Structure 1
């Protein structure tokens, strides 16, 4: 089961429906000063088919979880692509911190680490949905907006810049 709510909506929902200690864990206002504000938090359930022969989530599925989180976020950003401008993944970095076992509910937290002229660097954390101190993975990806006809970089869409700066 996946959720497609921006981080701000999930924090509001958490405050209304969860115990106070869990709500504060989702609230960026309670985050340490050096931790960037969450751009988006995606909820993703681990599927049985995600497991490997060692009975934990195969490392390649971490990339799938990150892709799903980015797409959930982008669905909330109008105008993130058109015929002259669309994103490509230029780089990815994943630090595997601990194995994910089934069953599990995950939160994939996205934050904006850097905005460039034609790119955005998104930091990510994959944590347990019920205990965000259980860090499974962290790292970052770089997405570059390009013209699909020419393959050349184009300026970052204003909607992406606004969404990242507003987080």
Structure 2
């Protein structure tokens, strides 16, 4: 992980029975859902509505995950969301996934968030309130 990152949110989510795959552990696609939910919680906590009805909205243009230790049901995962320095219209975010009660790192991920105009599909500058939070 990058050293120039800022912890923005820590959240917890229950692992659901249906999150598991045929191997008996959380399916790889579900990790992206956990990261997505943490990202939405962070943005909504900053009063940004995550909705296509908004004149400007965040989207991700790439996402990655490194799976280190399998997560099994039952469990509660803890997601820590970090962000780097803002660019003109984007910011890099990183995620750490742990199982509650265990400090080991189970997975780590990343996603580049870009602010855009949903009508045109073009990037727009990050909102000033978001930029100031990230730069602080």
**TM-score of the aligned structures, taking structure 2 as reference length:** 0.88
What 5-or-longer segments of structure 1 have no aligned partner?
1-33
Number of equivalenced pairs: 132
**Rg comparison, structure with higher value:** 1
Q: 2:15 aligns with which of 46, 49, 60?
A: 46
More helix by share: 1
Over the aligned positions, Cα root-mean-square deviation in angstroms equals: 1.8
Higher relative contact order (CA 8 A, sep 6+): 2
Structure 1, residues 36-68: CA drift from partner, whole Å, max 9, x if none? 441101111100010011110000000110011
Any conservation in 1 of the 2:15–2:73 contact (CA below 8 Å)? Answer: yes
Q: Work out whether 1:128 is the aligned partner of 2:99.
A: yes
Any conservation in 2 of the 1:78–1:159 contact (CA below 8 Å)? Answer: no
What 5-or-longer segments of structure 2 have no aligned partner?
none
Distance 2:5 2:58 in 1: 23
More strand by share: 2
Structure 1, residues 92-121: CA drift from partner, whole Å, max 9, x if none? 011111110111111110111231100111
* Deviation, structure 1 residue 79: 4.0
Q: 2:86 aligns with which of 115, 130, 136?
A: 115
3-state SS, counterpart of residue 145 of structure 1: strand
